[in-house]
Amino acid sequence: MHGFAYRNGTLHCEDVDLEGLANEYGTPLYVYSANTFRDHYRRLDQALEGVDHEVAYAVKANSNLSVLRLLANEGAGFDIVSGGELFRVIKAGGDPKKCTFAGVGKTRGEIEYALKHGIYSFNVESEEELRYLNDVAADLGLIAPAAVRVNPNVDAKTHKYISTGKSENKFGVDFERIADLYDRAATELPHVQLRGLQMHIGSQLTSVKPFVEAVEKVAPLATVLKEKHGIEFWSIGGGIGIVYQDALGAGSIDWWDSQAEQDRPLTLAGYGREVVPRLRNLGLKILLEPGRAIAGNAGVLLTRCLYEKQGSAKTFKIVDAGMNDLIRPALYEGHHEIVPVKEPGSERKVVDVVGPICESGDFFCQDRELPEFGPGECIALMSAGAYGFVMASNYNTRPLPAEILVDGSTVSVVRKRQTLDDLIAAEL
């Protein structure tokens, strides 16, 4: 469910006409639905009823301060992967004591910063990192709370770039080695407090089966670590997928009701029904670390068609957004539904939608049948709320787009469009 739908012939975000936003603020333009963020957070929180839990939003998905502030006001914790993300959470009014710090390459400066702010836990990716964490904490005269990330060797059956739970991935410690590592750490690392256990098997999972497989495999280990080392929490990671293929339609309850049971995408409630019974009797606090599931369908990228180029083999729709604004299609062929902002008629055409970047990989779709739109018309790239702006760059010396947050009928500019002077301000 999300806040984007056609009303009176134009695409709206909640109560606001997106054509008007594009005209007023220019394109490319990111637009977010505040109520979609709230709704997805609350649905996840509700899905975990029955166990002591916390929903810790993965900041890397969308780190705009206004988004973080909105979620902090909902009571969210935060999953961070850098000192910079912790800085953002603090600036947004989030509580460092509700932050877990993941990532395979934490620096001394980042560790010191997080320790001084009293974060809840470091999610440690290797024995070497755990020992380094102990050394840094010892130098500061502090105790570092930690959870080791277990790699359960479960195939999430997702894109290889976002699979994290198999033995060949760079993340975590092999399942068979975790118990021994906790035993050694308990006796050899006096400046580490083993507070929990962590896992995360991948992103954009559209079936509950890999989640269930991982939980069932790791639950006995979590029980042993609780009994032997007194751990208090188990982070089961994130990774719940969203609807990309028919994203606009999925904003309606009627769309979900129309899906055959065997074809219906994984819902937040469905996820909870399967995993909560397997967690209920563990006596551990459960952390869930969603990013895309909260943010993905809460945002769109608006872009305007510049030209239509008729080639001998293809028809190209050239738009003013590029791979620097939204890199997912170029990076791992991520699908984004593309819809005209003005409600289209029945005419459709097979086209490539491409941007102005000087790269052949600068495309948003290839050989896709789309509703017809022409030069000057605005289109929306759906499902752009996660891994959109956060991965944007200044490649080809292109200023970063503005970001807008819509809350009902209220429009807020939550990031000003970057100017060319802004772009070179730090250069000498």
Which amino acids are annotated catalytic? 358
| 328 annotated to a ligand binding site | yes
Using left for φ > 0, alpha for ψ between -120 and 50, and beta otherwise, residue 241 falls in beta
**The pair of three-digit structure tokens given for residue 239, joined into one six-digit string:** 């990774």
DSSP 100-116: EE--S---HHHHHHHHH
Q: Residue 308 half-sphere exposure, CB side, CA atoms within 13 Å?
A: 11
Does the annotation flag 230 for ligand binding? no
Kindly state the helix (H) or strand (E) to which residue 317 belongs, with its residue range: strand 315-319
Q: Is 239 annotated as a binding residue?
A: yes
CB 298 within 8 A of CB 307: no
- Is 290 annotated for ligand binding? yes
241 labeled binding residue: no
Question: How far is the first Cα of the chain from the last one, in angstroms, to the nearest whole number?
Answer: 47
303-321 in b/e form (b: 16+ CB < 10 A) is: bbbeeeeeeeeeebbebbb
C-alpha separations of 56 from 72, 87, 99, 127, 264 in Å: 10, 16, 7, 24, 26
Quickly tell me which residue has 């902090």 as its tokens: 72
Ligand-binding site membership of 332 (annotated): yes
Residues placed in the known binding site: 239, 289-292, 328, 332, 359, 387
Residues placed in the known binding site for substrate: 292, 328, 332, 359, 387
Residues placed in the known binding site for pyridoxal 5'-phosphate: 239, 289-292, 387
